[in-house]
Structure 1
Amino acid sequence: MAEGLCGKHHRNPASGIGGISMSDTLKHWQPSHSVSAKLQGRDGSEAIQWDVAEEAPVALVYNGHNHAVMLASPQDLTDFAYGFSFSEGIIDCAKDIKAIEIREKQQGIDLLITLTEAKLERFQVKAARRTLVGNSSCGLCGISSMESLFQDPAPVSEKPAELIYRDVIAAVASFQQQQPLKKLNKSVHGAAWLSAGGDVYMVREDVGRHNALDKLIGALVQHGFDPDGGSCLVSSRASYEMVSKAVRAKMPALIALSAPTAFAIRTAKAANLTLCNWSKDGLVVL
């Protein structure tokens, strides 16, 4: 995105790669499963089928070196590989990755990522500092030092983003209709990229809120989108790691459907990221 994505392009992702999702083909791991259950109520009980979200162990392996194991929804994993790598600072743009192979196992999924020689050297420095094992709600597992949390981030823009209330209303309504996995099981998060006019261009979903954002970032990274004037909409709260990912991707604004944390607000202000909370009372701009 912008300079961080190695070039600026203005293609509409909805026409180029699919506005909702571009899932990788997996034979065994599926993002949702139907299970048998018993529904109990005042008038008795009945047998039902219930759709539940999958939570798959996904290992990110760089040039043969295990770096992280995350619990994620087994879809859009190529996007996840690019987005995670970008958010972690392992790559700066799509061309820093030479190849990605998705390998299914009975106990999980391996993402075999081949970096360029230049980025492999950077990765080896990072790998020497930490090994990361994260659950679906963990965005900072294995961070190398407490001090790294408080480094001043580079500003994402010179002036605050301008958001129009009616555009955000329309975007939220459209966003909620473009989350097929959430419609099915009611238990996953979504992240969407919005145009300057509030149109929903792209949506990614995952059982983990930060994974959903990484998938969105990864899709954007692959197509070199310019974030200027756009914004990101997420279904979750705006926690520190969500803000830090948005800042790394140079997103001008982050709109969350749940409230932010105080740490997230401080981080957003330091980076000049416009942070918003969508509530029943309106749009809270921080």
Structure 2
Amino acid sequence: MSITTPSTVPMKTAAGSRQQRYRLGSSDEVAVATLAEEVALALTINQVAHAVMMVSPLSLELFALGFLFNEGVIADPDEIRDMALQSPETQDQRVADKALSPLILDITLSSRASHRYRHDGVIRRRMAGCGVCGTEQLHQAFPELQSNSPQPLPDLSAMGDLHHKFSILQQQRGDFGGLHAAVLLNTSGQVITFQEDIGRHNAMDKAIGYALAQQLDLSQHSIVMSSRCSVELVYKAVRAGLRCLTHLSSPSYQAIAVAKAHNLNLTQQLRNGEHRIFHQNAQALQLSESNHEA
């Protein structure tokens, strides 16, 4: 799936970074920093407004796939017929603050998905987006999840030193800092895709979107996140049917509880390479609250 981009929409953000001059402290010395970009992306479905997200302008088609799948708008990529990137000016939706570099990504759904979207009560499942802020009711913030079939914990030793692996991958991409990363691994620990975004939720959406586009069986794959592990990311992992979710930072207590309830293997790799196994299917690790490290 590719995005149709009219010539009127500047694609200067393809690298996802810009250079910015700055002054060092109280001195007159001037240096240049390469900084991550973020843009306001309005997602519209069949030209009807659906959501506005702040995203890094990288792999937007993968973000849309993963995001709409987690929102319940699509069940598979074939339900998307077209994606068109548009300028707000062409849609008479001018934004006062031009510094936001706004874009509109219009998604055209198949007839089946469009019918479901219009008539079957598909609502914004805000837990799939960037947290629950702004959600009006609890049942919308915490929609019912279908538990996954229990999968065994993958061979954690095959993942290798994830902290070092992330560092290498970021250097290869052009490490300018400020981005969250998501890595999709197969059961052999091989990197399938490496995705980055200003938002950790978006980075996971891009990794899931890549898997969907490639028709991969996510029950045989793991995602490793550079960020902390919160409930929202566990919800995404469960919806996608991931085998394992691993983070380089600690999970919240509630994130562990949700993972246990829905058969998601959940681990954290420490800087020394060891894994803290917070939930392991068929052999759940019982951690005493007194020893729990937030």
TM-score, length basis structure 1: 0.81
Which of residues 74, 79, 102 is equivalent to 1:96?
79
Q: 2-side partners of 1:229 and 1:45: how far apart?
A: 55
Which of residues 19, 22, 38 is equivalent to 1:37?
22
Decide whether aligned partners of structure 1 residues 56 and 125 sit closer, same or farther in structure 2, where only a CA change above 3 A counts: farther
Q: Match of 1:118?
A: 112
**Partner deviation per Cα, 1:132-179 (whole Å, 9 max, x = no partner):** 7x9xx93334445313455553222324323323x2234443233222
Q: 1:270, CA displacement in angstroms? A: 0.9
| Cα contact 1:171–1:198 (8 A) shared by 2 | no
Q: 2-side partners of 1:122 and 1:143: how far apart?
A: 22
Q: 1-side partners of 2:155 and 2:135: how far apart?
A: 33
Q: 1:117, CA displacement in angstroms? A: 1.7
Aligned length: 260
Letter in 2 for 1:226: D
| Cα contact 1:24–1:75 (8 A) shared by 2 | no
Q: Does residue 153 of structure 1 match 2:137?
A: no
Q: 2-side partners of 1:273 and 1:130: how far apart?
A: 24
Structure 2 stretches lacking a partner, 5+ long: 89-97, 279-294
CA RMSD of aligned residues (A): 2.9
Larger radius of gyration: 2
TM-score, length basis structure 2: 0.79
Q: Match of 2:185?
A: 194
Q: 2-side partners of 1:87 and 1:66: how far apart?
A: 17
Structure 1 stretches lacking a partner, 5+ long: 1-16
Bigger Cα displacement from structure 2, 142-151 vs 54-63 = 142-151
| Cα contact 2:21–2:31 (8 A) shared by 1 | yes
**Partner deviation per Cα, 1:61-85 (whole Å, 9 max, x = no partner):** 0001000000000110011111110
Any idea what SS the aligned residue of 2:218 has? coil
Q: 1:40, CA displacement in angstroms? A: 2.7
Letter in 2 for 1:140: V
Letter in 2 for 1:253: C
| Cα contact 2:182–2:203 (8 A) shared by 1 | yes
Letter in 1 for 2:215: G
Structure scoring higher RCO (CA < 8 A, sep ≥ 6) equals 1
Any idea what SS the aligned residue of 2:211 has? helix
